[in-house]
Amino acid sequence: MFIQTETTPNPATLKFLPGRAVMGDGTANFPTVDSAARSPLAQRLFGLPGVAGVFLGADFITVAKADDVEWLALKPQVLGAIMQHFTAGEPIVLEAPKAVTEEESDEVVAQIKELLETRVRPAVAQDGGDIVFDHYADGVVYLHMQGSCSGCPSSTATLKAGIENMLRHYIPEVTEVRPV
């Protein structure tokens, strides 16, 4: 098994590509060891000293490191843990989160979600992260940043210069974008 790695705009995270599906559909964010109870892979990675977060994408794993750890020491351990997990055939997650279905009564929210899904999420996934809609109120769109986007030094610029400008262009009701 060959696992590729890619840097991300966030120096505290690396993107690992195992060459096969990880989540297949959707994503899973585990910002702490306590949140990783439903993912044997995330638990294995949190067992390594210095792992501070795990994000699972369709075909990648983004790992965040603690500030006092260097990638030179941690990267080989992460590669080994991922390889061991996949070759053992163990599950990535034990159960998928229950999908929340709600009627889209607000046309603005539907437009925001559509633009995020088609234009924003594919781009940030290339950098090992995800941006998820939280809510919309009084012209402000609130987004939850995950994976390499969480804590990234350039995430504020991405929100303001990229996402906010795009949403304001297509949806005049949007006045601002804020992280949650």
Residues 69 and 130 in one domain: no
Please give the pLDDT value at position 122: 84
Sheet holding 176-179, edge to edge: 129-137, 140-147, 176-179
Q: In what order do the strands lie in the sheet with 61-65?
A: 4-7, 13-17, 61-65, 51-56, 28-30
Q: Cα separations (Å) of 100 from 93, 131, 137?
A: 18, 17, 20
Is 51 strand, coil or helix? strand
In a domain, 157, yes or no: yes
Q: Residues 84, 30: one domain?
A: yes
pLDDT tens track for 12-67: 999 999 999 998 778 899 999 999 999 999 999 999 999 999 999 989 999 999 99
Q: Tokens representing 37?
A: 């109870």
pLDDT digits (tens, 9 = 90+) for 68-125: 999 999 999 999 999 999 999 999 998 755 544 343 448 888 899 899 988 888 888 8
- Total structural domains in the chain? 2
Which domain, by its residues, includes 43?
Answer: 4-88
